[in-house]
Amino acid sequence: MTARRNRLDPATLAAQALGTVDAETGAVVPPMHSSTTFARGADYRLVGDHLYSRDSGPTVRRAEEIVAALDGGADARLFASGMAAFAALLEALPEGAHVLAPKSMYYAAQDWLIRQAWRGRIELDLFDQTRPEALSAALRPGRTALVWIETPANPTWDVVDIALAAEAAHSAGARLAVDSTCAPPPTTRPLELGADIVFHSATKYLNGHSDLTAGALIPARDDELWAQIHKIRTATGGVLGGFEAWLLIRGMRTLHVRFARQSETALALARHLERHPRVVEVLYPGLARHPGHAIARRQMTGGFGGMLSILLDGDVESARRVAASTRVFVPATSLGGVESLIEHRRSVESPQSPVPDTLIRISVGLEAPGDLIDDLDQALAAA
């Protein structure tokens, strides 16, 4: 089976969940195991590979194998949320480790980094991800343990050169971890570009149906840091549940077709909004005028994603009114689902966030592109 998998495209592996037909029943949908404990035989050895669900379970392990195959990793671990995965990675670092992270990134993760630095658990520096030289300048050779990047960066969609970041991090003796939530495996595989760990908020594109919360870590190597991450997940109980893992498997089976459609529609919306008189700027790496477009073309080989932001001509109140005036877009947090979402991002970010007051974040779903364009036009006119 392993040799067969190695010859197949990741899209095929995802669609067939690494082998669709259940050997025991012939079912074409992978079974869901909800058991929290697993029996021993007459010799008191475990009947299968699992002891207790806080450590692992059959459905969770199947989902992890799919995630690892999609990203080309040595292994994968799923967590009950993206933040649980992120916290486990930080916990696995040595006490007082120096961490580099971008100034523009998912605000909850940045808040957690700042909290850990305030407690003395890590040393933290934030670099300007829009300046390629800023990461290298902030490194402390021999002291920096982890470089964290997010590309495209939420919600400004700045693009970071993963290969360049990996080269810089490794030259200082650090590991590179990449938040690839908004550039999932159909378009970007950071491990192939030199990253050491890939992170996904699996709540988003990997699942794609807005009905579960999950996080994933995928390593390039099965090493001591990876062993520590597994121990931390077991000890703290941050594992994903069996039903949620089954939902995630279901979602990943359509990942490639969903992402392609969302990328295509997002590009159409971005090009339309570029010409709108109320829009000052469209932030989308698929546009030729985007400052990170050349890098995005190199490392986002399967589309530029379904996320974009717009800066409006107006003030904070008019921006909120636009987000509240849509009829097809749902005004809600999150991204990557089949339904299109719109959000005035400043209203939900932390107080120290650098997000502009007039930034509107858009997550493109699977609706008809014309309906989405018409809806944005009427919301912009109404506000």
Give the residue numbers marked as catalytic.
54, 106, 179, 204
DSSP H or E segment with residue 342:
strand 341-344
Alpha carbon distance 239, 184 (integer Å): 21
Chain Cα centroid distance, residue 310: 21
Residue 289 burial by Cβ neighbours in a 10 Å radius (0-12, 13-18, 19+): exposed
Residues 6+ apart with CB under 8 A from 112: 83, 86, 87, 90
Q: Three-state DSSP class for 67? A: helix
Q: Bridge partners of 124? A: 99
Q: Which two tokens stand for residue 270?
A: 């971005």
Q: Which is nearest to 251 in space by CA: 25, 66, 22?
A: 66
Q: Three-state DSSP class for 113? A: helix
Residues 6+ apart with CB under 8 A from 378: 325, 327
Question: If you write DSSP's letter for every residue of 148-216 in order, what string do you get?
Answer: EEESSBTTTTB---HHHHHHHHHHTT-EEEEE-TTS-TTT--GGGGT-SEEEE-TTTTTT-SS----EE
